[in-house]
Amino acid sequence: MSIYNYKIKTIEGTETTLQPYEGKVLLIVNTASACGLTPHYKGLQSLYDAYKDQGLVVLGFPSNQFAGQEPGTEEEIKQFCELNYQVTFPLFSKIDVKGENAHPLFVHLVNHTPAPYHTGEIEWNFAKFLVDRAGNVIKQYSSRTEPEAIEADIKELL
């Protein structure tokens, strides 16, 4: 199954798929608002601002699986991101990204990341997956990888 076919919900609650992003370079991230890594939102937004006109889309998927660091409602998450980090890239409804209730999109991302770029199960908030224009997962980055460190890989795909 293609990453473009998984059913997801926008942060506003509208059911959709990733089909609208087909042909774009995607940086898919599991996010959290109360994490020590939350400032990654700033770097993610900077990448989006710098490269969106060339075909990059950052997609944020809030998850409350790691130490309860995303406890808010979708509306609270959206407001937090907009007010504190001026986030304009697409955000989606809260999901599980690992375990038996993991969203199929994240199961796909983890299972289709090629060696040696596969880091295994998502360990924490702000794990990042880079996907090429054809929907292939190119690399998985650890939560600690700063968004700016991914820029060269993004530019290669654009």
pLDDT of residue 120: 75
Q: Of the listed 22, 35, 117, 151, which one is catalytic? A: 35
The pLDDT of residue 50 is above 90: yes
Domain count, the chain: 1
Q: Answer yes or no: 35 catalytic.
A: yes
The CATH number given to whatever domain includes residue 28 is: 3.40.30.10
pTM given for the model: 0.96
pLDDT band at 17 (very low <50, low <70, confident <90, very high): very high
Q: Which domain holds residue 9?
A: 3-157
pLDDT of residue 114: 86
The model's pLDDT over 77-103, given as tens digits with 9 standing for 90+, comes to 999 999 999 999 999 999 999 999 999
Return the bridge partners of 60, or none. Answer: 29, 91
